[in-house]
Each structure stands twice: as structure tokens, then as C-alpha cells.
């Protein structure tokens, strides 16, 4: 699979971003299931994707994908139990899983375990569940500091070239995270970045207009073997030249 140029989709507002991203997820899911019998999708955590997950599991769209053939994974998890308010699994359960007509196979990161153990267990699960081709699609958000998943600027986790999953203590958050590493992210057939809100405008300008490769931000180290697509709203794109997608 050849690496093609990243595609930038600028939508007029967050609702339009969720609809456009949902349409692409459903398209890639149907294609994966038709071609390979299953869809291996890694979900983003945080706040932005909540509206996308709610839309994907809405009455309007939930029937558009054969969820029984979908395997759901996590790009990262906080070092907390699944009921904790910070748990990405809890957020996904509340916004997506609770409303799906058919239960997909869900492979959560065991944030309640000691972080190194959770990372080792998840790496073993990925080895068992994923073919050599890796994920069909990985959804990612973007932090204002340029982090993706739980790969933060300056972290040793960014230098990991062998382990697919690592545990990392994030000093500025005073919290442990378990995260997929760049080799796994870059091995995916598709990666979608979801960026919404004025508070992401500076980092988006830096990434899309930045030509120097000295001290790249984590998101600038993302070079998937397949297709990288940005779904951003006009607020996040306010500093960049763009032609807005139709809503
Ligand atoms: C997490 C996410 C993280 C998130 C970014 C953006 O566990 O929080 O994996 O990488 O995607 O921090 O977060 P928002 O979408 O909430 O702005």
C-alpha cells in the first residue's frame, strides 16, 4: 500500500465534522468487512470524538454497519479503572457501546492494572487479534501541544520502535497512560485525525504550515503507510488557508 498525501477536510462546524467523519468511518468499515470479513478500528479518547461516537450509534446511522463484524480497540487509556470518570473506555461505553444495536467485540486496555502490565497485556492481545496488516482504521484526536493518543512531546515513548504498546507517566498530567506507539499508528491502513475548536487553531497552523523538521511534534511523526485524513472544523482551521468542504 503506498503512502498518499494527507487529505484535509474542513467542515463549517463541529456537527458537520462529525457527520463527515462518521460517513468516512462507515465507508471504511463496510469496505474492510467486504474485503476481509472484519473491521479493526482503534478509537480515540478525550472529548472531541464523543459526538462522533454518539452519531455512529444513533438511530440514523447505527444500522449502516455490521457491528457484529467490528473489533473495537483503544489508541490509549488512562491508568484508571473502567468506571473512573477519566476512563476512555467509560466514555466509549456511554457514547457508543450502550446504544449499538449489535455488540461489537471490544478490546479495552485494562487501565486498572499496573501500567506496565496493562501495556504488556494489550500488546499480547494486539498480536493475537490483528493480522500483519494492522489496524484498518485508527481514530486520533490532537492535543493543543501536538500530542496524539498518549504520545506527548518529549516522551521516550516517541522513540519506541519495537513495542506496540507502552506505559508512560505524563508529568504535566501527573498521570499514567497506556498508549499505542508510532510504529503501530504508522502501520495502519487509514488514520483519521479529528480536530475541533478554536483552541486547536495554533497547533493546526503549526503542523500544516510547518516546514522545519527539527523537533517535530508527535503528530508530525505520524506518517501512516496508508491514508491520513484530517477532519477539522472552521474554528480549528481559522489560521490556515483552506477551501471548506460542503457541510
Ligand atoms: C486522550 C486522547 C488524547 C486526545 C487529545 C485531544 O486519551 O485524551 O487519546 O490524545 O485525543 O488530548 O483531546 P480532545 O479531543 O478532548 O481535545
Instruction: Provide DSSP, 127-160.
Output: HHHS-TT--SEEEEE--TTS-BTTB-TT-GGGG-
For the ranges 36-45, 89-98, 146-155, 211-220, the lowest mean pLDDT is seen at 211-220
pLDDT at 52 > cutoff 80? yes
Q: What are phi and psi of 67, to 5 degrees?
A: -60, -20
For the Cβ of 222 lying below 6 angstroms from any atom of ligand 1, the answer is: no
- Give the nearest ligand 1 atom to 197 CA: 17
Phi-psi map region of 46: left, alpha, beta (phi>0 left; psi -120 to 50 alpha): left
**Smallest CA separation from ligand 1 atom 7, residue:** 45
Q: Is the model's pLDDT at 204 over the cut of 70?
A: yes
* Å from CA of 186 to ligand 1 middle: 18
Q: What is the pLDDT of residue 210?
A: 78
Q: Is the CB of 92 under 6 A from ligand 1?
A: no
Instruction: Tell me if 149 CB under 6 Å of ligand 1.
Output: yes
Q: How far is the CA of 34 from the centre of ligand 1 (A)?
A: 31
* pLDDT number for residue 33: 98
Round to whole Å and give the CA distance between 209 and 157.
25
CA distance 219 to 205: 12
Q: How confident is the model at residue 226 (pLDDT cuts 50, 70, 90)?
A: very high
Cα dihedral angle (216, 225, 111, 52), rounded to 10 degrees? 90
Measured in angstroms, how far is the CA atom of residue 60 from the centroid of ligand 1?
Answer: 26
Q: How far is the CA of 40 from the centre of ligand 1 (A)?
A: 20
pLDDT of residue 5: 86
Q: Could you tell me the distance, in angstroms and rounded to a whole number, from the CA of residue 49 to the centre of ligand 1?
A: 9
pLDDT at 2: 55
Ligand 1 site, residue 111, Cβ cutoff 6 A: no
- % of the chain at pLDDT higher than 90: 91
- CB atoms under 10 Å from CB of 13, counted, come to 12
Please, are residues 196 and 148 in contact by the beta-carbon 8 Å criterion?
no
User: How wide is the angle at C-alpha 203 spanned by C-alphas 197 and 206, nearest 5°?
Assistant: 140
Stretch 220-238: mean pLDDT: 96
* pTM of this structure: 0.96
64 versus 244: the higher-pLDDT residue is 64
The finding on whether 88 has its CB within 6 A of some atom of ligand 1 is: yes
Amino acid at each position: 500500500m503506498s503512502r498518499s498525501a494527507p487529505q484535509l477536510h474542513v467542515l463549517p462546524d463541529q456537527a458537520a465534522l462529525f457527520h463527515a467523519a462518521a460517513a468516512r468511518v462507515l465507508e471504511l468499515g463496510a469496505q474492510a468487512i467486504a474485503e476481509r470479513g472484519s473491521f479493526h478500528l482503534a478509537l480515540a479518547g478525550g472529548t472531541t470524538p464523543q459526538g462522533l461516537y454518539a452519531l455512529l450509534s444513533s438511530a440514523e446511522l447505527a444500522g449502516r454497519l455490521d457491528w457484529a463484524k467490528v473489533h473495537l480497540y483503544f489508541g490509549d487509556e488512562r491508568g484508571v479503572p473502567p468506571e473512573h470518570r477519566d476512563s476512555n473506555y467509560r466514555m466509549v461505553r456511554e457514547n457508543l457501546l450502550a446504544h449499538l444495536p449489535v455488540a461489537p467485540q471490544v478490546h479495552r486496555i485494562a487501565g486498572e492494572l499496573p501500567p506496565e502490565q496493562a501495556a504488556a497485556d494489550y500488546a499480547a492481545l494486539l498480536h493475537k487479534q490483528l493480522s500483519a496488516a494492522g489496524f484498518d482504521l485508527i481514530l486520533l484526536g490532537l492535543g493543543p501541544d501536538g500530542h496524539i493518543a498518549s504520545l506527548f512531546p518529549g516522551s521516550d515513548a516517541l522513540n519506541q520502535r519495537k513495542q506496540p504498546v507502552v506505559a508512560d507517566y505524563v508529568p504535566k498530567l501527573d498521570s499514567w497512560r497506556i498508549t499505542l506507539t508510532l510504529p503501530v499508528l504508522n502501520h495502519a491502513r487509514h488514520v483519521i485525525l479529528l480536530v475541533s475548536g478554536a483552541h486547536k487553531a495554533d497547533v493546526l497552523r503549526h503542523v500544516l504550515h510547518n516546514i522545519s523538521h527539527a523537533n517535530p511534534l508527535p503528530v508530525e511523526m505520524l506518517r501512516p503507510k496508508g491514508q491520513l485524513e484530517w477532519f477539522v472544523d472552521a474554528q480549528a482551521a481559522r489560521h490556515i488557508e483552506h477551501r471548506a468542504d460542503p457541510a
